[in-house]
C-alpha cells in the first residue's frame, strides 16, 4: 500500500472523522488521519494522511488555506454559522441602511494581521474537553485571541442580505468568526451560511476526489490517487542522495553540511529550515533540519524501506 496524502473533497453533512473512517475502509488501511478539521456542514479540501503519510502531517497543519464562503447578514447565531440557534435578528430599518459600498469597505478592512477570538463552539480543547461539547452543556469558555493573517478577502457577489467572498488566510483562521465580526462591524449581525475549502497548502480543490467516486473506484484505483510522500513535500528543498549515503540515512546516522551541500543550506528558509532527502527514484528517505550551531542536520523523520 502506498503512503502519502489523499486529497478528498469532503461532502456536506459528514464530520471530518467520519470521512477518515470511510477512506480507511475504502483503502483497507489502519493508519490514516486528516490534517485540518472541516465542520460537518462545510465542504472541500480535506487532506488525508495515509500510512507513513501520518508522519509528515505536521508540515500541512500550519499551511495557508483558501475558502469560498457565503455570509448572511442580519441574523446572528450562537455558533456563528447556519447550524446554530438564532440569537438576534436585525430590524428592517437596520437592514435597509446597508449599502453594497459600505459592505465592500468593511469586508476589505479585514485584510492583514490581526487578533481573532476563537468561537466558543470550536474543536479547541479546555482541560481535555472540546469547547463545543462544553458549550452545548451550557459552559461557554472563551479562549484568548490568537494572531492570524488574512492575506486576501474579496467579495465575488453581493445580493443583500447575502454576500459571497473568497478568503486566503493563515492556518487557524475561523471563517465563521470573520462572518460574525463583519456583521458586528456593520451593526446588523451575520453568520456563515456556506463554506468550501478550496485550497490547503499546495493542494487545491481541483486535486481532490469525492468520497463517492473513491468508493466507486475500489481499493486498487483509489490507491493511485494517493500523492507520494516526496511529492507531498514539494514546497521543501530537495536533495538527491548518492547510494553510499542512502543506508546511512535509513539508519538515522548523523549528517553534516558536507553530506547535504551548501546549496540546499542556503535555500532553506528561517520559517522552516527543513530539507527532504530522496534517492535517485525520488523515494523519500528522510526530512532533516539544519542546526546552524553545529552545521549538522537533525532528523524530523526517517523512512526505512
CA distance 109 to 298: 42
Tens digits of pLDDT across the chain (305 residues):
789 999 999 999 999 999 999 999 999 998 999 988 888 899 999 999 999 999 988 888 878 999 999 999 999 999 999 999 999 999 999 999 999 999 999 999 999 999 998 877 666 665 666 666 666 766 676 667 889 999 999 999 999 999 999 999 998 899 999 999 999 999 999 999 999 999 998 899 999 999 999 999 999 999 999 999 889 888 888 889 998 899 889 888 888 888 876 555 544 444 557 888 999 999 999 999 887 776 788 888 888 76
Give the residue from 48, 46, 55 showing the smallest Cα distance to 27.
48
CA angle 39/9/196 to nearest 5° reads: 50
For residue 114, give Cα distances in angstroms to 40, 135, 191.
27, 25, 20
Find out whether 3 and 230 touch, Cβ atoms under 8 Å. no
Residue with cell 502519502: 4
Residue with cell 459600498: 101
Reported pTM: 0.87
CA distance 1 to 29: 8
User: Per-residue DSSP letters for 33-47?
Assistant: EESS---TT-EEEEE
For residue 78, give Cα distances in angstroms to 68, 69, 81, 141, 144.
22, 18, 8, 13, 18
Catalytic option among 39, 168, 259, 279? 39
For residue 187, give Cα distances in angstroms to 56, 157, 161.
44, 20, 13
Element (H, E) at 94: helix 92-96
- Beta bridge partners, 228, equal 4
Find out whether 209 and 9 touch, Cβ atoms under 8 Å. yes
All cell numbers assigned to 56: 509528515
All cell numbers assigned to 267: 535555500
User: Per-residue DSSP letters for 261-281?
Assistant: -HHHHHHS-SS--EEEEE-TT
Find out whether 184 and 60 touch, Cβ atoms under 8 Å. no
Find out whether 131 and 125 touch, Cβ atoms under 8 Å. yes
CA distance 73 to 85: 15
3-state secondary structure of 242: coil
List, in order of start, the domains of the chain with CATH numbers.
4-63+202-229 (3.30.2350.10), 68-191 (3.30.2350.10), 236-302 (2.30.130.10)
Q: Is 39 a catalytic residue?
A: yes
CA distance 204 to 292: 34
Amino acid at each position: 500500500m502506498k503512503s502519502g496524502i489523499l486529497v478528498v473533497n469532503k461532502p456536506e453533512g459528514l464530520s471530518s472523522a467520519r470521512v477518515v473512517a470511510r477512506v480507511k475502509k475504502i483503502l483497507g488501511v489502519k493508519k490514516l488521519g486528516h490534517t485540518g478539521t472541516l465542520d460537518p456542514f462545510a465542504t472541500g479540501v480535506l487532506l488525508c494522511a495515509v500510512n507513513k503519510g501520518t508522519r509528515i502531517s505536521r508540515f500541512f497543519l500550519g499551511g495557508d488555506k483558501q475558502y469560498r464562503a457565503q455570509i448572511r447578514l442580519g441574523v446572528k447565531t450562537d455558533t456563528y454559522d447556519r447550524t446554530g440557534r438564532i440569537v438576534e435578528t436585525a430590524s428592517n430599518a437596520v437592514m435597509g441602511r446597508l449599502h453594497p459600498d459600505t459592505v465592500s469597505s468593511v469586508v476589505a478592512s479585514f485584510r492583514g494581521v490581526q487578533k481573532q477570538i476563537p468561537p466558543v463552539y470550536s474543536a479547541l480543547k479546555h482541560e481535555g474537553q472540546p469547547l463545543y461539547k462544553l458549550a452545548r452543556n451550557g459552559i461557554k469558555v472563551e479562549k484568548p485571541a490568537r494572531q492570524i493573517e488574512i492575506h486576501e478577502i474579496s467579495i465575488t457577489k453581493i445580493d443583500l442580505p447575502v454576500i459571497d467572498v473568497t478568503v486566503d488566510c493563515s492556518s487557524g483562521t475561523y471563517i465563521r468568526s470573520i462572518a460574525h465580526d463583519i456583521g458586528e462591524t456593520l451593526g446588523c449581525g451575520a453568520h456563515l451560511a456556506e463554506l468550501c475549502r478550496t485550497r490547503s497548502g499546495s493542494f487545491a480543490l481541483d486535486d481532490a476526489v469525492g468520497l463517492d467516486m473513491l468508493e466507486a473506484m475500489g481499493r486498487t484505483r483509489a490507491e493511485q490517487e494517493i500523492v507520494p510522500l516526496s511529492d507531498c513535500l514539494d514546497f521543501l528543498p530537495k536533495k538527491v542522495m548518492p547510494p553510499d549515503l542512502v543506508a546511512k540515512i535509513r539508519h538515522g546516522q548523523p549528517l553534516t553540511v558536507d553530506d547535504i551541500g551548501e546549496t540546499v543550506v542556503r535555500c532553506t528558509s528561517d520559517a522552516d529550515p527543513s530539507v527532504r532527502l530522496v534517492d535517485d527514484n525520488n523515494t523519500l528517505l528522510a526530512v532533516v533540519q539544519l542546526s546552524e550551531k553545529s552545521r549538522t542536520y537533525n532528523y524530523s523523520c526517517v523512512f526505512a524501506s
